[in-house]
């Protein structure tokens, strides 16, 4: 019998991250797995001691039942959209997986790699915004950084739009 796996999905509630989430649910997640949504928020200045602690270590693991509640997520400064919540609620119910969210504050590239080791994750799935070569050279690619620096397998789900 295999041990439960911890499958990470980088989620920022954009179209490309939702596509990666759906791909993870359809192709990777299986009964007994833990699907861990990793959300990275920009660094901010917070007054409360709780937020300062979270900024350093990331939030606690937030169960699906809690991150589905807007008033709970308000304290984290995150607002999950209805489509994302529907994808994970359906996956939790149909595939019998545990869904939790972990929020970090800071640089997305560094925090995603940090989450792999700290949680720890067996693999991570992320979307890619499809930046052109020029924009990618100027802004840098989060997915490229994670692929080259992660200590676990990384799957990048391309967001290809056909006109």
pLDDT tens for each residue of 89-137:
999 999 999 999 999 999 999 999 999 999 999 999 999 876 555 555 5
Which pLDDT score is estimated for 52?
Answer: 63
DSSP 76: T
Residue 162 has pLDDT above 50, yes or no: no
Q: Kindly tell me the burial class for residue 32, based on how many C-beta atoms sit within 10 Å of its own C-beta (0-12, 13-18, 19 or more).
A: middle
C-alpha span between 62 and 7 (Å, rounded): 15
Which pLDDT score is estimated for 117?
Answer: 95
Q: Assign residue 94 a region: left if phi > 0, alpha if psi is -120 to 50, beta otherwise?
A: alpha
139 pLDDT band, cuts 50/70/90, is very low
Domain residue spans of the chain = 6-158
Residue 161 has pLDDT above 90, yes or no: no
Contact status, residue 102 vs residue 119, Cβ threshold 8 Å: yes
Which pLDDT score is estimated for 137?
Answer: 53
CATH of the domain spanning 6-158? 3.40.50.620
Which pLDDT score is estimated for 24?
Answer: 97
pLDDT tens for each residue of 69-84:
998 888 888 889 999 9
144 pLDDT band, cuts 50/70/90, is confident
Contact status, residue 42 vs residue 109, Cβ threshold 8 Å: no
pLDDT tens for each residue of 37-68:
999 998 765 545 555 666 678 899 999 999 99
Residue 20 has pLDDT above 70, yes or no: yes
Contact status, residue 11 vs residue 126, Cβ threshold 8 Å: no
Which pLDDT score is estimated for 77?
Answer: 85
Average pLDDT over residues 30-38: 97
């Amino acid at each position: 019998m295999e041990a439960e796996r911890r499958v990470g999905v980088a989620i920022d509630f954009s179209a490309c991250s939702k596509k990666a989430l759906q791909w993870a649910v359809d192709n990777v997640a299986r009964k007994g797995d833990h699907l861990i949504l990793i959300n990275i928020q920009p660094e901010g200045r917070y007054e409360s001691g709780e937020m300062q602690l979270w900024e350093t270590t990331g939030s606690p693991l937030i169960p699906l039942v809690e991150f589905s509640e807007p008033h709970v997520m308000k304290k984290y400064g995150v607002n999950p959209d209805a489509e994302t919540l529907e994808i994970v609620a359906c996956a939790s119910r149909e595939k019998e997986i545990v869904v939790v969210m972990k929020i970090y504050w800071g640089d997305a590239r560094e925090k995603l790699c940090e989450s792999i080791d700290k949680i720890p994750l067996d693999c991570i799935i992320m979307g890619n915004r499809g930046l052109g070569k020029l924009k990618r050279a100027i802004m840098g690619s989060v997915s490229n950084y994670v692929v080259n620096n992660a200590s676990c397998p990384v799957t990048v789900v391309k967001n290809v739009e056909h006109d």
